A and B are shown apart, each in its own frame.
Chain A
Amino acid sequence: MIKLEKLSRAECIRYLGGKNLSVTPQIESLLNECEQKIFETASVKYLYREIPLDSQILHHGNDIEEHLKDCEKAVIMCATLGAGIDRLIRTSQVTDMAEAVVIDSLASVAIEQVCSKVDLIISDIYPGKYLTFRFSCGYGDYPIDLQGEFLRILDAPRKIGLCTGKSSLLTPTKSVTAVMGISKNPIEKRKRGCAVCNMRENCKFRKAGLHCDI
């Protein structure tokens, strides 16, 4: 069971375009209320599975090959905050759009937090080994339309209700799929690019050609 913990305010504010923002009590209470709603609504679920390196799904383009270079195994994973969060975002758009964007953004922070926790769970299974960062389809030349295949291998629609459709959008929307390499040797610290960031679709930095430096 993964339990959500305090969501990073700084990340949320950054996602929503705040750079030099002074956090007033009003903003603080808006963030707190939205976080509380997310905690009450989210139903965190995840799956992972080791797959052999010669699996078809790992051989689409150069970027994934590069990512898994020197690895001996790969683990694919997926995680979701559940359909309730989508409903919460939908309903809040009707009543208060300002709240809706905060919930939307905090939920992105939350799914990122979930993924980091899944990372830890997986690394516990491979003591003494090293994990690459999460590499998702849609990045570089790794095709986004592998999304369905990821979910099928993980049996995600049935096990955690995570699906996709013709547009390869994950539904529920606050969800992630990714692949990680397992290596005997320490993995050269690469800067985690926008590649595997779940905010990349909405990221102001990326759009401005910058990086958030995480």
Chain B
Amino acid sequence: MTFKELLEKKEFIILDGAMGTMLQKSGLKTGEIPELLGISHPEIITGIHKSYIAAGADIIYANTFGANSYKLEGCGYSAQEVIKAAVSNAKKAAENTDTLVALDIGPIGQLLEPAGGLSFEDAYEIFKEQILAGENSDLIVFETMTDLYELKAAVLAAKENSDKPIICTMTFEKDFRTFTGCSVECMVMTLKGLGVDALGLNCSLGPEEMYPIAQQLCKFSPLPIVIKPNAGLPDPNSNTYDVSPKDFAESMAKLVPLGMKICGGCCGTTPEYIEELKNILKDKKYTKNQPLKYPAVCSATKAVDISEPRIIGERINPTGKKLFKQALIDGDMDYILSQAVAQVKGGADILDVNVGLPEIDEKEMMVRAVKEIQSVVDVPLQIDTTKGEVLEAGLRVYNGKAIVNSVNGEDESIETVLPLVKKYGAAVVGLTLDKNGIPKTAEGRFAVAEKIVKAAESYGIPREDVYIDCLTLTVSAEQEGAAETLKALKMVKEKLGCKTVLGVSNISFGLPERELINRTFLTMALENGLDLPIINPNVDSMTGAVRAYKVLKSIDKNSVSFIESYNSANAQEKKPVTPNTKRTLEEAIENGLKSECGAITRELLNTMEPLEIVNQKLIPALDKAGDSFEKGKTFLPQLIQSANAAQACFEIIKEKIASSGNSQVSKGKIILATVKGDIHDIGKNIVKVLLDNYGYTVVDLGRDVDPQKVVDTAIAQNIKMIGLSALMTTTLKSMEDTIKLIRTTPQLQNPDGTSKCVVFVGGAVLTKDYAMKIGADYYCRDAKESVDTAKAVLG
């Protein structure tokens, strides 16, 4: 019997109950590793499996839940040994029966980035090892998962290293979310896309509490529904559960009308529970659920239904943006992240991410950008690149269902892009052009759209996941083009039934009052069926046009969103802004008044030289703020506000200097890094803000930074000052290693053997003595002292 046959032949598929509960009953002690019993006492494990088979389980889970290289470290056995033994024990128990054996894989036990220190790639490797070791099982189960990202790594590892069926179950709390905030809808959308065979819920709750979550699952999931609840809720101290086998079975039976197909028990359940469950389902008929069908994409925490117009933010794209290009070259993620956050605040529902620039490694940057952007915003992302390998790298590390931008009508494009769209379960933008360019007529573009949709369907990508872009041409160059685009849009919408997407801003190149043309064209496009305008969401009139359209088309019922958007916008404007009286620059900095600082600086530039302002006004004012902080008269947030206000001043001075063609205003470059193994980086970031605002150029390498990366950057950019931070006693060793490497790298040494680099260190657990002992030049107690040190070293 295979899993597929089970699905077809059985009304319901019965899973087993808890392994841990049974092991505790057989005397497993607190803190002992349950998976090791498979080696030390295989007869106990086989006995438990047999009792579940006797109770009626069609599938038993091998005792491999926590058998991964992280959890087993130091236990004396490898994950491979433990898994092989466990699968063989289960197989032995299932001999001469139709029962299938599942390789059971739980969470690694360590949080993934960004919340934790484990990278997506390392998680993949850990799962891969388990999958390969479990080759003798019949299917693979991932259960008790709470992080969709971890589960994605797991499913990819399974798909790429075996051809077994995959069941995924996640653990939700009563608030319909997992610990990491994943929703049922996002789980379904993402896992369905990755091609798993069944999905559902396990652990945490009893069958009664699980009912509403199962209800939601059945509303969304077209895949067979799996339910494996606990025997009620645990008593915190005794760890016993409160639902009897009979009550458990009765509650489970209530889930049948929802669409439950596969079921068993989790913590607290025993063979008795499974037997009761089997009995109660004996006379019941499976009723297939009727999931909603709707076009949508998602992040791990937010689904965006595109049954109505949604805004795709276009600003994460270096084309024509000098500052953005520079940020990419410098690896300045803060700039990119602030663009992401600003667009979401402006009203973007989805963000396009394009980091293509000839000077950089686009693949590496795409991975970094996707990872970091999804760590600060919750909207879905659109991966925008022309290169297949960049696209795959971006899709791989994206947590959710992404949009791919884009495929076109050329065969080569179709053959490169669509298999990736299918593999990663994304949606895709189809550009209506091919090797002959953009067809002039609407009919021509429609034909290309049709070809793309057919090709997508042949790859198993449903039509609702193809968003056709009928392409905006510049109206000043080809005036009839606008009407043709709109006509094509309408045809695609009506005849192909596809969602449509359009970059709007191109329309107005070469004309004055571009915003006016853009907004008018946007409104026309919406009326002709545009679903996904790609615009700058921080241009109020554009975002406003979409909002107004939704009101006028009765999409925004009772204008709720519209009113909310403008009420809260007004509220923000009404924030108390201190009247611009005759304040000095020093006072403005002291009070952290950013916009006033800018205005005063502009005025001062009429009478003073830029550097005079910096040295006579700005720096003394910052020093004064630092001084008050040191005395405890102000606290850290105020010092940061002063620094930010000074930043506004600096920006204007930099502009002035750049426009006069003079050299840069930077007072020197400094590397900052939180050392390898350490992920708590707020301290380092505070230092960065202050150094930035004192006029130093900070090269921020981020957190968990490899010593070699620090050294390589110092050599490549010829940087003489390096700041390192570590929060934990356990990571001080990494700090020491990093300093050692800096000191012993020949390129960072002077001919006389002294070091070219000055190293300053800081961090919670560090002391001055220790800092000196590990070879640092300076110990800085706080951000203020870091600035003092930079002044002493770089001036």
Contacts and interface: CB of A to CB of B under 8 A. Distances in A.
A160 interface: yes
Contacts of A47: 236
Contacts of B682: 89, 93, 100-101, 104
A21 B635 contact: yes
B635 A163 contact: no
Interface stretch (A10-18, A61-69, A128-136, A178-186): A10-18
A163 B632 contact: no
B44 interface: no
Interface string B670-682: 0000000111101
A57 B29 CA distance: 13
B635 A16 contact: yes
A153 B30 contact: yes
B73 to A, nearest CB: 9
Interface residues of B, number: 65
A202 B636 CA distance: 12
B658 interface: no
Interface residues of A, number: 63
A197 interface: no
Contacts of A20: 631-633
B731 A167 contact: yes
A83 B685 contact: no
A159 B638 CA distance: 39
A56 B31 contact: yes
Given A48-B236, A102-B637, A163-B116, A169 B678 contact: yes
A93 B686 CA distance: 9
B interface, over-half SS: loop
Nearest to B173: A43
A123 interface: no
Interface string B179-213: 11100000000000000000000011000000000
A94 B181 contact: no
Q: Which of B117, B173, B631, B730 has the most chain A CB atoms closer than 10 A to its own CB?
A: B730
B636 A17 contact: yes
A6 interface: no
Contacts of A202: 683, 764
A76 B633 CA distance: 40
Contacts of A171: 110-111, 115-117, 679
B730 A98 contact: no
A166 B116 contact: no
Contacts of B638: 27, 98
A109 B641 CA distance: 22
A152 B31 contact: yes
A140 interface: no
Interface string B1-45: 000000000000000000000000000001100000000000000
Contacts of B730: 144-145, 166-169
A193 interface: no
Interface stretch (B334-342, B455-463, B513-521): B334-342
20 contacts: A19-B632, A49-B237, A49-B239, A83-B181, A86-B115, A91-B377, A157-B109, A160-B179, A161-B146, A163-B109, A163-B110, A163-B111, A163-B116, A165-B110, A166-B730, A171-B115, A171-B116, A171-B117, A171-B679, A202-B683
Given A50-B237, A164-B110, A169-B727, 11 more contacts: A17-B635, A18-B634, A20-B632, A48-B236, A87-B115, A94-B340, A95-B338, A163-B109, A163-B116, A165-B117, A171-B679
Interface of B: 30-31, 106-107, 109-111, 114-118, 144, 146, 171, 173, 175, 178-181, 203-204, 236-237, 239, 334, 337-338, 340-341, 375-377, 592, 629, 631-638, 640-641, 644, 677-680, 682-683, 685-686, 689, 727-731, 764-765, 781-782
